[in-house]
Amino acid sequence: MRNYLIAAAAACVLSSGAYAQADTTSHNPATKNSNAHTTAAAAKGRNSFTEAQAQGRIAKAGYTDVSALTKNENGVWQGTAMKAGAKVNIGLDYKGNVTVR
């Protein structure tokens, strides 16, 4: 009886791990995501993008002439860029999301 309970407990533990990994719809910001997204507000947090990476990510979102990039106190890269013939103020948060102000 004792061996049966141990085997049943082990089966529960092992099967719950596989179930937790099956969810592919959740967004984990620490996971590399090469898609550029545009959001309404930048997320505050420690930004590990270099200036060149931030410029590339913003360009990938469809902006040109990205310039004057500086990282603010919230960890957001801020600068200016052109899109559809208009100059806009842009930002890039630690998740890689582009914001326009």
Give pLDDT tens digits for 7-61.
Answer: 666 665 555 554 444 444 434 454 455 666 666 778 888 888 999 999 999 999 9
Q: In the numeric block, which tokens belong to residue 15?
A: 């099967």
The pLDDT of residue 100 is 93
**Cα distances (Å, whole numbers) of residue 65 to 22, 46, 60, 101:** 41, 25, 12, 16
Residue bearing the bigger pLDDT, 34 or 78: 78
CA–CA distance, 94 with 23 (Å, rounded to integer): 23
**In the chain, what are the domain boundaries?**
36-101
Whether residue 42 contacts residue 89, with contact meaning beta carbons closer than 8 Å, is answered with: no
Beta carbons of 97 and 74 less than 8 angstroms apart = no
* 36: three-class secondary structure by DSSP: coil
Q: What is the pTM of this model?
A: 0.61
Per-residue pLDDT at 62 exceeds 90: yes
